[in-house]
Every structure is written in structure tokens, then in C-alpha cells.
């Protein structure tokens, strides 16, 4: 279950910016994908006033955290590769890496931009890039682009929604909508795999 972003942000108190940076860093590259990255950024922008922060401060701390998180994932993949993943593991399952590798093979460097907007995938694509020994200079370019674009887009979405009184007064509803939109690409991918497996079973 994805934690409630608003509750997390309020729990950080005066350390909210440090908390945002830490969670974005962990979700981006420390192989723990079950954190509310999208909703965290959107909510931080929506609740910037009550939290005592400015949206530009969210950008300043979240962009470097996202970039450094991906760097960590890349070097973990390059150094340890598949040895990090074990059958039966709760988080580091081989199929998660395989899905990321397929995504990486399909989109190449662009996967580091596109994958940023897909929960779980954004955690494992940098690892897949490292495992594939992608050129570090090329990785750094795509990594920086993807991380910056993701943080800016999510923060701007929060700023736009923050101007709507209904959204501010019903932040829980907003969180549900963001989570549903975020996981939609994953649901679509699962359904495609399920349909493909059914076709293979019918043909055999």
C-alpha cells in the first residue's frame, strides 16, 4: 500500500524539504519502489503554504535527489547486476529487473525519461542501464533530463491544482486520483502480458 503523501509531509515538520529529498532519492535508486514519488511532489506543491515551504524549494531539493538516486541505481546495476535479485524475494525479484530491461531495450536512453513517469519502472530502469553497461556519459545526460522533467512536471501540476479550492480541501481525493493515474501504465502492461500469454496458450 502506498503511504499517504500528505501525512508523510506533515510528519516531517520543519524537516519537510530534507524529507522530500530523502524519499525521492530512495525511490529513484535504492531499489525500494513503494514510495509515493508522484503524489509526494504534487502534494508538496499543493500544500506548500501550510507546510511553510515554497514550490521553488521543492525543485531545488527534489531534482538533485532524483538525479543522485538514479546514479546510485546505475552503479548498483553496473557493480552487482543480477546478483542483487533473488527468486522469491519480496522486492528484488528477477522479474522486476527483466521488465525494466525490456523497457530499457525498447526505448534505450529515452527509457530514463519515460520511465520516470511510471511507478516501480523508474526505480529499476537505472539498474537495468547499469547492468547493460550503458555509457555513463550517455546515462548522465538522459538521467538528468528525465529527473528534471519529472520533478518540474509534477510540481507544476501541484501548483495548478493548488489554485482550486476543492482540491486543497479534498487532498485525499487528489491522492487517490494521482495514484490511479500513476499506476495506469503498469496496469496496461500487465493486461497486455496477460492477453499475450492467453494467445500463446490458445495457439499451443
CA distances (Å), origin 100, targets 1, 36, 127, 133, 187: 21, 19, 8, 14, 15
Asked if 48 and 101 touch (Cβ cutoff 8 Å), the reply is no
Q: Summarize pLDDT for 104-113 with one digit per residue, the tens.
A: 777 777 878 8
pLDDT at residue number 20: 95
pLDDT higher than 60, residue 132? yes
Full-model pTM: 0.75
Q: What local confidence, expressed as pLDDT, does residue 1 receive?
A: 40
Amino acid at each position: 500500500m502506498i503511504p499517504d503523501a500528505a501525512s508523510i509531509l506533515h510528519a516531517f515538520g520543519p524537516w519537510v524539504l530534507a524529507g522530500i529529498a530523502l524519499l525521492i532519492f530512495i525511490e529513484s535508486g535504492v531499489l525500494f519502489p513503494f514510495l509515493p514519488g508522484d503524489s509526494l511532489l504534487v502534494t508538496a506543491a499543493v500544500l506548500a503554504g501550510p507546510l511553510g515551504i515554497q514550490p521553488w524549494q521543492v525543485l531545488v531539493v527534489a531534482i538533485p535527489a532524483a538525479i543522485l538516486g538514479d546514479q546510485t541505481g546505475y552503479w548498483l546495476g553496473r557493480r552487482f547486476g543480477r546478483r542483487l535479485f533473488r527468486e522469491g524475494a519480496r522486492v528484488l525479484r528477477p522479474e522486476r529487473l527483466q521488465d525494466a530491461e525490456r523497457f530499457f531495450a525498447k526505448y534505450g536512453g529515452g527509457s530514463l525519461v519515460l520511465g520516470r513517469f511510471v511507478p516501480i519502472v523508474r526505480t529499476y530502469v537505472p539498474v537495468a542501464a547499469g547492468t547493460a553497461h550503458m555509457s555513463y556519459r550517455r546515462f548522465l545526460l538522459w538521467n538528468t533530463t528525465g529527473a528534471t522533467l519529472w520533478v518540474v512536471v509534477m510540481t507544476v501540476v501541484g501548483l495548478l491544482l493548488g489554485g482550486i479550492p476543492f482540491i486543497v480541501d479534498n487532498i485525499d481525493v487528489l491522492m487517490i486520483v494521482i495514484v490511479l493515474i500513476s499506476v495506469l501504465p503498469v496496469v496496461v502492461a500487465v493486461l497486455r502480458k496477460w492477453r499475450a500469454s492467453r494467445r500463446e496458450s490458445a495457439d499451443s
